[in-house]
Amino acid sequence: MNEVQRAKIVLKILNKTYPKTPIPLKHKNIFTLLISVLLSAQCTDVNVNNVTSSIYPKYNKPEHFVKLGRKKIENLIRSIGIFRIKAKSIYNLSKTLVEKYKGKVPKTFEELEELPGVGHKTASVVMSQGFGYPAFPIDTHIHRLAQRWGLTNGKNVVQTEEDLKRLFPKKYWNKLHLQIIYYGREYCKARECYGISCKICTSCYPKRKKPIITRKA
């Protein structure tokens, strides 16, 4: 079985398992989606949603966070990992949006990736989930799963993104990104499946007996 055949199996199982894919990070607008994605680094979506549920009703525009200042932002997100670094990024990002973009989130990868604290993965999520632009955000979880499923040889997230974009038609990218995340959380967990027990792993590699060691991103 080659990677193209495995990709077809993956797509078929994911479409059947997750016909609908709600965005896991709760938000009020594209700006708050951007903030939530930034907060989700090294943190669960559940924790981010818990924290932002009391923030976004009051503060949901760049102007609000500029007015708050770094210290108050820190206090609001204190229960989230590396909160000081994230508070600094949120403040500087909000300031840039107000000064350069009249408070609007820009609609290109280049402009998004120039914002403080925003890398390619965060920009990809905003482009995909916020603006509906075809993108394939790759985090460490998707990188791990793509290796297990034989869709990439896993040297780094950049290569994994290229491989998945090559294997799957563009029209599926946005939904597929979320489907893979949901499937990984429910069925192909890092310390449970090991590439030998979930439906996708056993379908792609029916003869695999030994746990697969995946390369870190």
Active site residues: 121, 139
Task: Name the residue among 131, 112, 132 with its Cα closest to residue 122.
Answer: 112
Task: Name the residue among 102, 112, 105, 69 with its Cα closest to residue 87.
Answer: 69
Q: How many CB atoms lie within 10 A of CB 113?
A: 15
Helical segments of 18-156, H only? 30-39, 45-52, 62-68, 70-76, 83-101, 109-113, 120-125, 140-148
For residues 111 and 108, give the distance between their C-alpha atoms in angstroms, rounded to a whole number: 5
